[in-house]
């Protein structure tokens, strides 16, 4: 399948067509996106055979699961702003048998994605090799787009990183240095007081998690080395990064420390723990990033979790405006309803708007009463 025959937008020149700063830098209210990871065509058969290094000669199961994920996402209303795949798109390493076939079949499975849902690709260790080289990085970029880049969605800055360069860049030190220079510039600009408007949030996508449970945990195959991890954590927190989304672990994990949420999502493909094949729905509000993992079965049959759906619905209701006439003949002079619960009114009285906090998801419950003033006319 040539570039002209597939339907994917590719990140180029360190940005993503259609989700650029000029068009998307303004906050436009709540939205949601889909985070998925590790379709990794070929791993399920290789895992069963006990030959994860040389196996992977069959991948029909992963193709079915990927198509199921695509169909379930297409059914969601409203549709997500984008879907990001956090690495290990295929199992076969660069320059090995089955690589081309796995890539072609994954692209075919993803072609069913509704054109209104951009697909954002993140590189994993199987996509680049455990020790990437300039050649393997170039192969990946040719097939899937830039290995690191930024994009904007509704006032939120998203950074896609090549985590393999954090893991082992011994064969391509210049590429590591280039990404670090670029990342420093992105984070500096995001936190700069002179840049307006500032991003509502900064979100990072990479394949390898910073950590699985705790920032101080021991080095492991599934996390980044302590020194690298702490360096990134310090930079991310200083820049106000809200969340880091990753895969690689083939299980759900992660935790929030110091205001930064490390989110580790299980796989579309092979499961290595007790979770099941699925994707994560992420709702972005003015104040928070709320997420929940959904099994493919749940997403296909019941759709988005009810709490997340209510959150989106509540936050997109129109707000009462000054001068609005109420049902009892009063006119709203002033509204102090603000932030994440703006406009969520249950009952209108002559002297106040009452918000039933018990009806709101925990993520957006107001901390204080909110009152407005009316005048009879």
Last residue of some domain: 284, 313, 342? 313
Q: Do 343 and 265 share a structural domain?
A: no
Domain of residue 158, CATH code: 3.60.21.10
Three-state SS string over the chain comes to CCHHHCCCCCEECCEECCCCHHHHCCCCCCEEEEEECCCCECHHHHHHHCCCCCCCCCCHHHHHHHHHHHHHHHHCCCCCCCEEEECCCECCCCCCCCHHHHHHHHHHHHCCCCCCCCEEEECCHHHHCCCCCHHHHHHHHHHHCCCCEEEEECCEEEEECCCHHHHCCCCCHHHHHHHHHHHHHHHHHHHCCCCCCCCCCEEEECCCCCCCCCCCCCCCCCCCCHHHHHHHHHHHHHHCEEEEEECCCCCCEEEEECCEEEEECCCCCCCCCCCCCEEEEEEECCCCEEEEEEEHHHHHHCCCCHHHHHHHHHHCCCCCCCCCECCCCEEEEEECCCHHHCCCCCEECCCCEECCHHHCCHHHCCCCCCCEEEEEC
| Tens-place pLDDT, residues 209-259 | 999 999 999 999 999 999 999 999 999 999 999 999 999 999 999 999 999
Q: Do 346 and 307 share a structural domain?
A: no
Q: Do 240 and 98 share a structural domain?
A: yes
Q: Do 223 and 95 share a structural domain?
A: yes
| Tens-place pLDDT, residues 168-193 | 999 999 999 999 999 999 999 898 87
**Greater model confidence, 58 or 357:** 58
pLDDT band at residue 138 under the 50/70/90 scheme = very high
Domain tally, the chain: 2
Above 60 in pLDDT, residue 353?
no
Return all residues near 258 (Cβ < 8 A) that are at least 6 apart: 233, 237
**Six-digit token string for 50:** 């006990």
Q: Do 103 and 245 share a structural domain?
A: yes
Q: Do 210 and 331 share a structural domain?
A: no
Q: Do 167 and 280 share a structural domain?
A: yes
Above 70 in pLDDT, residue 72?
yes
Q: What is residue 377's predicted lDDT score, i.e. its pLDDT?
A: 37
| Tens-place pLDDT, residues 255-285 | 999 999 999 999 999 999 999 999 999 999 9
CB 268 within 8 A of CB 39: yes
Q: Do 74 and 174 share a structural domain?
A: yes
pTM of the model: 0.84
Question: How many other CB atoms are there within 10 angstroms of residue 338's CB atom?
Answer: 12
Above 60 in pLDDT, residue 330?
no
Q: Are strands 353-354 and 347-348 parallel, antiparallel or unpaired?
A: antiparallel
Q: Do 151 and 27 share a structural domain?
A: yes
Q: Do 353 and 297 share a structural domain?
A: no
Q: Do 355 and 289 share a structural domain?
A: no
Average pLDDT score over residue span 86-95: 97
Q: Do 360 and 299 share a structural domain?
A: no
Last residue of some domain: 279, 295, 313? 313
Domain that holds residue 112: 3-313
Last residue of some domain: 297, 313, 329? 313
Reading phi first (left if > 0) and then psi (alpha if -120 to 50, else beta), residue 344 is in: beta
């Amino acid at each position: 399948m040539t570039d002209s025959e597939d339907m994917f937008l590719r990140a180029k020149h360190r940005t993503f067509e259609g989700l650029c700063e000029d068009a998307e830098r303004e906050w436009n209210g709540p939205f949601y996106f889909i985070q998925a990871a590790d379709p990794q065509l070929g791993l399920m058969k290789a895992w069963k055979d006990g030959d994860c290094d040389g196996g992977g000669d069959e991948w029909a199961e992963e193709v079915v699961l990927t198509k199921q994920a695509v169909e379930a996402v297409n059914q969601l209303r409203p549709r997500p702003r984008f879907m990001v795949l956090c690495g290990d798109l295929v199992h076969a390493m660069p320059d090995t048998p089955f690589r081309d076939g796995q890539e072609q079949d994954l692209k075919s499975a993803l072609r069913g994605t509704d054109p209104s849902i951009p697909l954002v690709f993140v590189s994993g260790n199987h996509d680049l090799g455990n020790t990437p080289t300039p050649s393997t990085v170039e192969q990946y970029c040719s097939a899937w787009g830039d290995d690191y880049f930024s994009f904007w969605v509704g006032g939120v800055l998203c950074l896609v990183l090549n985590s393999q360069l954090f893991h082992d860049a011994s064969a391509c030190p210049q590429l590591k240095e280039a990404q670090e220079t670029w990342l420093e510039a992105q984070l500096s600009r995001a936190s700069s007081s002179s840049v307006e408007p500032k991003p509502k949030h900064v979100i990072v996508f990479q394949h390898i998690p910073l950590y699985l449970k705790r920032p101080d945990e021991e080095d492991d195959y599934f996390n980044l080395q302590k020194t690298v991890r702490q360096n990134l954590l310090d930079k991310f927190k200083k820049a106000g990064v809200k969340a880091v989304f990753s895969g690689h672990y083939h299980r759900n994990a992660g935790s929030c420390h110091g205001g930064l949420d490390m989110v580790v999502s299980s796989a579309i493909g092979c499961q290595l723990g007790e979770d099941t094949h699925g994707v994560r729905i992420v709702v972005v509000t003015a104040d928070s990033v709320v997420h929940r993992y959904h099994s493919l079965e749940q997403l296909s049959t019941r759709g988005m979790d009810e709490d997340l759906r209510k959150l989106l619905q509540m936050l997109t209701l129109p707000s009462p405006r000054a001068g609005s006439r109420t049902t009892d003949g009063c006119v709203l002079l002033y509204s102090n309803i603000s932030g994440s619960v703006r406009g969520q009114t249950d009952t209108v009285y002559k002297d106040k708007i009452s918000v039933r906090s018990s009806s709101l998801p925990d993520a957006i419950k107001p901390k204080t009463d909110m009152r407005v003033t009316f005048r009879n006319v």
